Amino acid sequence: MPSRPRLVNALLLALLLGLAACGEEEGAASVPQAGSAPPAAAAPAPVPPPATEAQANRTAGSFLDTSTIVPQNPDAAICSPEPVFDFGEVLQGEKRDHTFTVGNRGAVDLTIRAVNSTCGCFVAEVTAPDGKVIDPRKHPPTLDMMTLKPGEEAKVKVELNTLGQRPGRLQKQIIVISSDDRQPALRLTLSMTIAAGVEIQPNPLQFGDVLRGQTKTERAWIKLTQITDLEITGWVDKPEFFEVAHQKGQAPDGSAAIVLDVTLLPNAPLGYFARALVATTNDARLQQVQVQLYANVTSQVVFSLGNQIDKSRIDFEVIPFGESRSRSLEITNPCAEEPYVVEGVELESKHRDKIQVTVEELERGRRYRITLTTDPTLDARFFRGILKVKAKHVDTPEKQIPITGWVRKG
């Protein structure tokens, strides 16, 4: 009996001989015999259809290659030759712009539905193939933006303002929504490295608590780290309740700087606010410099609760059952021109019948004392409420103060 390797070799040889015989038979069949009819003429090659008008008008510099239209992309297909663009290093506060190209490399019309940005620091301006300019922010969201025929292009211009952005790597995106089912959201990406052209210390500039009607001045330094000849030429929408003075000088560390003295004026509104102080400059790259301002303007009327732990509430702490305890609220108003006159006091609590409230007018329009006293029969493991003080005053017509306490038995 032959060995296994010899058997395998014999089978392979037989297979090769059979294939060769088949080739000879096919070749013989293709040769015409004497007296037989001549073979039919081969069918002519199909003539390609004439180019469409859109293809004929396509510019030589277009990124859309005619070979990619059919049959590779029989549907609408959105594309961009450069979906990512890097500005490189950009000074903080500098403005830059870039235009992306978006086109249709498919065989049917492509609908651009919307162009959205991922943040408010830049805007997109879209130009249709016919030259029409569209502002995506004003375009009705229920309407499609445009239609791109096969081979047509649109331009998406992006304007980026780095004012207020922190130094370091930054990446932003614009999203083009279209009828391409395979890529309904095309992302166009801008990236850059933001470098500090100047250094502002401190930023933000904190004013803290300021009584209404008073002034307070804080100082900041714009350190000239890269742009040594920077000058301030004006202000953009400066808040009317701020006054700013600036001059060339030195920062506390001795480096060259523009010294800013920012004054909060008496007409500042009541409450906490944050404002951006934006200065224009003489530099073509760093056109604006921004300092953030924080302040809390409070009423001149002061409510002293006598609670050192939490100054926002009246705390009776733990009262042994059967005992009485009092807590006093002192109200002072240093401004005689705007008197504070208490008109009523109300306690909201389900235990208000066990808490007595008295009001003393120590100096009309200037000083008051409100005393709360618990009854010895108050039987509540925990009690709370709201003391409402109503007064005739421009800033504080009503003040609500929480009260809390515990009663301990045994």
Residue-by-residue pLDDT tens, the chain, 410 positions: 445 455 445 545 544 444 444 444 444 334 444 444 444 444 444 444 444 443 433 333 344 443 333 334 566 689 999 999 999 988 877 888 999 999 999 999 999 999 988 776 677 799 999 999 999 888 898 899 999 999 999 999 998 888 777 888 989 899 999 999 999 999 999 999 988 778 899 999 999 999 888 999 999 999 998 888 999 999 998 888 999 999 999 999 999 999 999 999 999 988 998 999 999 999 888 888 889 999 999 988 999 987 767 778 999 999 999 999 999 999 999 888 889 999 999 999 999 999 999 999 999 999 999 999 999 999 999 999 999 999 999 888 999 999 999 999 87
pLDDT at residue 249 in the model: 94
One domain, residues 292 and 211: yes
235 falls within a domain: yes
Query: Positive or negative, the Cα torsion across 284, 286, 291, 292?
Result: positive
Residue 378 lies in a domain: yes
The answer to the question of residue 256 being in a domain is: yes
Other CB atoms within 10 Å distance of the CB of residue 321:
14
> How far is it, in rounded angstroms, from Cα 212 to Cα 215?
8
> Which residue reads 């959201």 in tokens?
185
**Statement to judge: residues 127 and 154 lie in one domain:** yes
Query: What pLDDT, on the 0 to 100 scale, is given for residue 223?
Result: 93
Residue 398: inside a domain: yes
CA within 13 Å, CB half, 335: 16
Domain-located, residue 174: yes
- The answer on 141 and 73 residing in a single domain is yes
Q: Which of 273, 296, 319 is the last residue of a domain?
A: 296
What does the pLDDT read at residue 296?
95
Q: Residue 223 is part of which domain span?
A: 199-296
Same domain as 330, residue 363: yes
Flag whether the pTM goes above 0.75: no
Distance between CA 68 and CA 70 in Å, rounded?
A: 6
How close are the terminal C-alpha atoms of the chain, in Å? 110
**pLDDT of res. 308:** 65
Residue 269 lies in a domain: yes
CATH number for the domain that contains residue 350 = 2.60.40.10
The answer to whether residues 241 and 188 belong to one domain is no
Same domain, 179 and 65: yes
Provide the residue type at 24 as one letter.
E
Question: Is 325 within the bounds of a domain?
Answer: yes
Beta-carbon-side half-sphere exposure of residue 50 (alpha carbons within 13 Å): 3
The Cα–Cα gap between 286 and 269 comes to 32
| 166, 195, 224 - which closes a domain | 195
* Count of CA atoms in the C-beta half-sphere (13 A) of 251: 16
Rounded-to-integer distance, Cα 186 and Cα 79, Å = 8
In a domain, 38, yes or no: no
Whether residues 307 and 248 share a domain: the answer is: no
Looking at residue 22, what is its pLDDT?
40
All residues at 6 or more sequence positions from 295 whose CB lies less than 8 Å from its CB, including other chains: 206, 207, 208, 210, 216, 264, 268, 272, 273
Residues 65 and 174 in one domain: yes
Is 65 found in the same domain as 191? yes
**Cα 385 from chain centre:** 40
Considering the domain architecture, whether residues 157 and 260 belong to the same structural domain is answered as: no
Of the residues 168, 195, 222, the one at which a domain ends: 195
| Structural domain count of the chain | 3
Q: Are residues 391 and 331 in the same domain?
A: yes
Q: Do residues 128 and 205 both lie within one domain?
A: no
